[in-house]
């Protein structure tokens, strides 16, 4: 996938402060739980429990956190206190609480900005050293597929404890 130069410039401008190695964590909630596509909303701790031992063993402390749910960032602050401040949080200042059902009602100018933010998130997550998310999320499945195309064979961590295949 190649971006137009102006889109790639936007992505680079908003994602260059991430330091390798890093773990990308995408927490999906809201409409996926509401419409029963996910059996439950997972606490951020459940995601971190999947990789914490591996991250500490190889000393990966940088975390890129992404979610449409703003409360996830407060969860991170509390969780990181329990982890003795081991993790460094990275994120992009984006519009939150955007779901497929909601984006259709957003004015075009705001929608363009949101799409650029989505593309930046996608770029950052695809290029992460490790990725964590739920495979009932189409977003996470897209990230996982693109990571595989790029040859990233490191395990995808998911609290669902199973993979879905079509």
- Any idea what the CATH number is for the domain that residue 41 is in? 3.40.50.11350
In this structure, the number of other CB atoms found within 10 A of the CB of residue 36 comes to: 7
Total number of domains in the chain = 1
pLDDT in tens, 72-100: 999 999 999 999 999 999 887 766 666 66
Mean pLDDT, rounded, for 102-110: 77
In order, the DSSP letters of the chain are ----HHHHHHHHHHHTT--SSEEEEEE--HHHHHTTSSSSPPPHHHHHHHHHHHHHHTT--EEEEEES-THHHHHHHHHHHHTTT--EEE------S--HHHHTTS-HHHHHHHHHHHHHHHHHHHTSSEEE--TTSHHHHHHHHHHHHTT--SPPB-TT-S----
Mean of the per-residue pLDDT values for the chain? 82
For residue 72, being part of any structural domain is answered with yes
Q: Is the pLDDT of residue 41 over 70?
A: yes
Mean pLDDT, rounded, for 148-157: 77
For residue 166, being part of any structural domain is answered with no
For residue 126, being part of any structural domain is answered with yes
For residue 44, being part of any structural domain is answered with yes
For residue 157, being part of any structural domain is answered with no
**Domain containing residue 139:** 14-149
For residue 1, being part of any structural domain is answered with no
**d(Cα 67, Cα 94) in Å, to the nearest integer?**
10
Our measurement of the distance from residue 26's CA atom to the centroid of its chain's CA atoms, rounded to an integer in Å, reads 3
Radius of gyration of the chain from its Cα atoms, rounded to whole angstroms:
16
């Amino acid at each position: 996938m190649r971006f137009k130069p102006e889109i790639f410039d936007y992505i680079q401008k908003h994602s260059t402060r991430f330091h390798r190695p890093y773990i990308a964590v995408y927490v999906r909630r809201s409409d996926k739980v509401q419409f029963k596509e996910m059996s439950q909303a997972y606490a951020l701790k459940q995601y971190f429990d999947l990789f914490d031992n591996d991250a500490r063993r190889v000393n990966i402390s940088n975390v890129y956190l992404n979610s449409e749910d703003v409360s996830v960032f407060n969860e991170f602050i509390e969780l990181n206190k329990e982890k003795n401040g081991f993790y460094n949080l990275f994120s992009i200042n984006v519009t939150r609480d955007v779901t497929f059902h909601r984006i259709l009602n957003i004015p075009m100018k705001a929608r363009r900005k949101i799409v650029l933010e989505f593309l930046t998130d996608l770029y950052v997550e695809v290029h992460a050293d490790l990725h964590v998310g739920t495979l009932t999320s189409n977003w996470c499945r897209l990230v996982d597929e693109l990571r595989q195309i790029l040859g990233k064979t490191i395990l995808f961590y998911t609290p669902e404890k199973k993979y879905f295949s079509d």
